[in-house]
Structure 1
Amino acid sequence: MDSLYYTTLLGLFATYCGYRYLYACHIRSKLDHIPTVGSSGIFSSYSTAWRFFKDGHTVIEEGCKKYGSAFKIPTLDGWQVILNGPKMLEDMKKAPENELSVLKAFVDIIKADYTLSPESMINPYHIEVVRTPLTRNIGARFADVRDEIVAAIDDNFPSEYDWVEMSVIKPIQNVVVRASNRLLVDLPLCRDKDYCELNIQFTIDVITDAIKIGLFPRFMHPVVGPLISKGKVNVKRAMKHLTPLIQERLELLSEHGSEWEDKPNDYITWLIETSEQLGADWQRGSIKDFAVRVLGVNFAAIHTTSTAVTHALYHLAAHPEIIPKLREEVEEVTAREGWTKVAMVQLKIMDSFIKETQRVSGGGATIMLRIATKDFTFSDGTFIPAGTSVTLASHVVHQSERPLTPQGSLT
């Protein structure tokens, strides 16, 4: 009996391995027309995947110099097509969500079903909140956000005029999380230390957990994902802070409707109202769901902004000759327009400086990750089958004096 059991189990395992091998061959064959950096073998490709995991910049540079506009790289999570050149950039920008999906790529890269919440991605109406009411109200809430930035800087940076040695990134994160949440949840919660620390750590937890989950084959993700991810713990911690605020807001909206005097003009209000307008019936009134969407927006906002500001400060320290020009522009514009959203748009030198620091120091090896939801053909004829992960080479291009193509020719 035991012999039959183990024989059956071994047979099932061998059958499954055979299926996975044939499936991997099928997926690879759909991309045979796109050249590969490193090995393209089912098993040997893992050596290149590991090299890409450890030093992606070098692997992508190799592909850009050797193949030009499109090539593929094996990753620990599957094949990824890397695009290169301004034409490919324009094609990516013009492609609609139902052809090259940002959301699917985001869900896949952060393993959102385990690190965040699968429900929030089924009906991602919080994206609409960010695009419309949040963006529209930046001007109206600008004075509050500036007030929080000033207060946060006073709390996190020493006021002495002498030199003070300190790590910059953590204080900058503290400023950014408070400024962001002044718009998201307002006072007093935006100044709560535990709440702020949660949102700073949440992004680190998500990325770290997603990387760990990605080290396992996809068929194992439903098993290892819940074991590895700190998502449930973080959501529970967020609910401790957000439940009283959300509950109060739900009661006020239920009592007064969409308009009343002194109605809070923040992300919590916009989130609840948008969920009602879009008819999110199965999510309506779910404090846990709202809390997840607050964490999600913080995930997108804090570390990207903090890193950009930190790089800018380092470049200013290295090139102090730039400081007088920036200060002169800020003083001239704010004297004319005040500290307003209109004034920020007119800071042309500041805008150029920050963009240049991002070109030199910002971001990873690639940008604009997408997943093809249907077969897609780029303007140069490059064909991408449905289900393929595609992204654009960025760092190596930003560091090159000319666009990287085979033999160094211009694109």
Structure 2
Amino acid sequence: MASPSVLPSLGEDWNYYQSLLPTKSTPYFILTFMVMIIAYAWTSSIDSSVKKLPLVNPAGFFSKNKVKQEYRRSARDILEKAKKLYPDQPYRMITDFGEVVILPSKFMDEIRNEPKLSFVGGIAQDGTIHIPGFEPFRELSDPSALVQTMTKKQLTHFLSKVTEPLSEEGSRAISLNFGESKEWRELALRPAILDIIARMSSRVFLGEELCQNEDWLEITKDYTVTFSGAAFELVAYPVALRKFVHWFLPICKALRAKSARAQAVIAPVIAKRVELRRAAQEAGEEIPYFNDALDWLDQEAKAKGANYSPDSIQLLLSFVAIHTSSDLLGQVILDICQHPEIIPEIREEIVRELRANGWKKTTLYNMKLLDSIMKESQRLKPIGSAIIRRSVTEDVRLSNGLLLKKGMRIHMDGLRMQDEKVYENANEWDPKRFLNMRTQAGKEHMAQFVTTSADHFGFGHGEHACPGRFFASNELKVALCHLLLKYDWELAPGTDVKPLMRGFSTLTNPTAKVLIKRRENVELDIDSI
């Protein structure tokens, strides 16, 4: 469950959202004067050392829209070109977020824990978190850091207690989406994976009552897609105008409606829990406790004296889980389908570990081949090609003398994870790459899926590394255990497995289809463990 980018992937909805955007540059003609003022103010505040950095996709005032469209289509190509032209050097790039400084990964350890470089500040700079419907992402910038604390402290601590519930819900969700037929049939992968992850995540975040609530599940899935489209459309306008134009955009209206629906679904659940606790206290009985994120958040909020919106945080948690975990799960399945020779070994490992220890956190830890496969798929196709993004809150001078001024944005080139200097045969999917790395002295820990480093930062790195990655790891492994033991898989003829690139976002192909059937002879009935 990685930290969300401000522009999540759009999937098959890309064409729809693109059709909503004004064609050519008509609205930009109207806004040109304001854009020029903003651009001048920004460039005049940049330190001279930054101005000297090469701009890899330069544009005049009247061609900036064209350059941004090119960024949306070919951001990774621009990054690769820049890496060849300016190896190990910072440079500037025009993006949907304005002009940003791209740092090569050699600066990773230098900036990863720098307190003057803010993750949440980058989100705030987009001018969307105070727009109705975007409230969940406002919670990330709250000084109490309630979400981050709950995730690091409570969610990770209770992993051993949620493994069995994850398996129960995963089994139910997978059967619902993939069926029990022993005949080959073709289906679209993405919708099924979205639903499975939504149901499994909701079991832990909201408990049994809401994880099977069809209204809530529909809201969380719709919110994820609608938020993606709304964010995508809003960045077509200058930041200063976004707080006004959102009122006139149909997709932003839809986002507000989904946020309101989420509150309507969660409010009665919270009220019911309050009443149960009040009644138990009056009767002198044990106060009921629900081992889910609703209760964990309540505990942390009371400890910190913080106010929070339960529905907003739940939408945030669901969004991050659906956006990142479902994308990676889909990619792992596609990669395995392209390398079916590895399936018998994966099944043997799953059966061996589950038969020996059952559904425990340690069991999942010992599935080291499965762990290696997940890390390798994430290495080759991370959620973005420029994963580390920060806002400069105070001036910072880097070791090479470059002064990053307050208010600037920086991104980090993520191409190191596919660099031949770092990984042998870097562009090939090697399921045992990280399994073999565990046998090398000093690399045992670094090779684990949840470990971040300057060579593999699919979950970010440093202070702002994804705090939910331990939960995501367990959730994905549980889902894959059911999917691989219970079903046979093949790619559907003619399916496209090439990732979809949209700006810095890199999405598992949303059109991919698979052939699937329930297996006749299963080595282990994992539902009875």
Question: TM-score higher than 0.5 here?
Answer: yes
1:65 to 58, 70, 84: 84
Q: Secondary structure at the match of 1:363?
A: coil
Q: CA deviation at 1:64?
A: 1.2
Higher alpha-carbon deviation: 136-145 or 293-302: 136-145
Counterpart-to-counterpart distance in 2, 1:91 and 1:109: 25
2:62 matched to 1:38? Answer: no
TM-score (norm 2): 0.67
User: Which residue identity does 1:211 align to in structure 2?
Assistant: F
For 1:408, the equivalent position in structure 2 comes to none
Q: CA deviation at 1:300?
A: 0.9
For 1:238, the equivalent position in structure 2 comes to 262
Q: Secondary structure at the match of 1:188?
A: helix
Counterpart-to-counterpart distance in 1, 2:300 and 2:278: 14
Q: CA deviation at 1:343?
A: 1.1
2:294 to 263, 268, 276: 268
Provide the alpha-carbon RMSD of the alignment: 2.7
Q: Secondary structure at the match of 1:55?
A: helix
Q: CA deviation at 1:274?
A: 1.8
Counterpart-to-counterpart distance in 2, 1:333 and 1:199: 33
Counterpart-to-counterpart distance in 2, 1:268 and 1:67: 48
2:340 matched to 1:320? Answer: yes
Contact 1:80 1:388 in 2 (8 A): yes
CA offset digits 1:331-377 (Å, max 9, x no partner): 22222222111111121111111111122233222102111111123
2:371 matched to 1:354? Answer: no
2:385 matched to 1:365? Answer: yes
Residues 246-395 of structure 1 mapped to structure 2, 5 A cutoff = 246-253=270-277, 260-280=286-306, 283=307, 289-394=309-414
Change (3 A) 1:17 1:101: closer
Change (3 A) 1:106 1:135: farther
User: Which residue identity does 2:369 align to in structure 1?
Assistant: I
Change (3 A) 1:17 1:39: closer
Counterpart-to-counterpart distance in 2, 1:239 and 1:51: 39
CA offset digits 1:195-244 (Å, max 9, x no partner): 11211121121121111111101111110134432332112111221111
Change (3 A) 1:401 1:254: same
Residues 117-196 of structure 1 mapped to structure 2, 5 A cutoff = 117=135, 120=139, 121-123=141-143, 124-196=145-217
For 2:117, the equivalent position in structure 1 comes to 100
Greater helix share, structure number: 1
Higher alpha-carbon deviation: 228-237 or 128-137: 228-237
2:75 matched to 1:56? Answer: yes
Counterpart-to-counterpart distance in 2, 1:169 and 1:17: 38
For 1:3, the equivalent position in structure 2 comes to none
Q: Secondary structure at the match of 1:352?
A: helix
For 2:44, the equivalent position in structure 1 comes to 26
For 1:88, the equivalent position in structure 2 comes to 107
User: Which residue identity does 2:130 align to in structure 1?
Assistant: D
Structure 1: give runs of 5+ residues left out of the alignment. 1-12, 405-410
Counterpart-to-counterpart distance in 1, 2:408 and 2:62: 19
Contact 1:38 1:45 in 2 (8 A): no
Change (3 A) 1:378 1:350: farther
Q: CA deviation at 1:186?
A: 0.9
Counterpart-to-counterpart distance in 2, 1:391 and 1:377: 16
Counterpart-to-counterpart distance in 2, 1:332 and 1:397: 35
Contact 1:126 1:271 in 2 (8 A): yes
Q: CA deviation at 1:105?
A: 2.0
CA offset digits 1:117-170 (Å, max 9, x no partner): 176344542222112112211211221111111111111112222211111111
Structure 2: give runs of 5+ residues left out of the alignment. 1-30, 424-454, 456-529
Contact 1:51 1:59 in 2 (8 A): no
Counterpart-to-counterpart distance in 2, 1:175 and 1:18: 47
Q: Secondary structure at the match of 2:43?
A: helix
Change (3 A) 1:15 1:333: closer
For 1:206, the equivalent position in structure 2 comes to 227
2:237 matched to 1:216? Answer: yes
Give the structure with higher Rg (CA).
1
User: Which residue identity does 1:164 align to in structure 2?
Assistant: R
Paired residues in the alignment total 382
Q: Secondary structure at the match of 1:161?
A: coil
Q: CA deviation at 1:247?
A: 1.2
Identity of aligned residues (%): 23
Q: CA deviation at 1:67?
A: 1.3
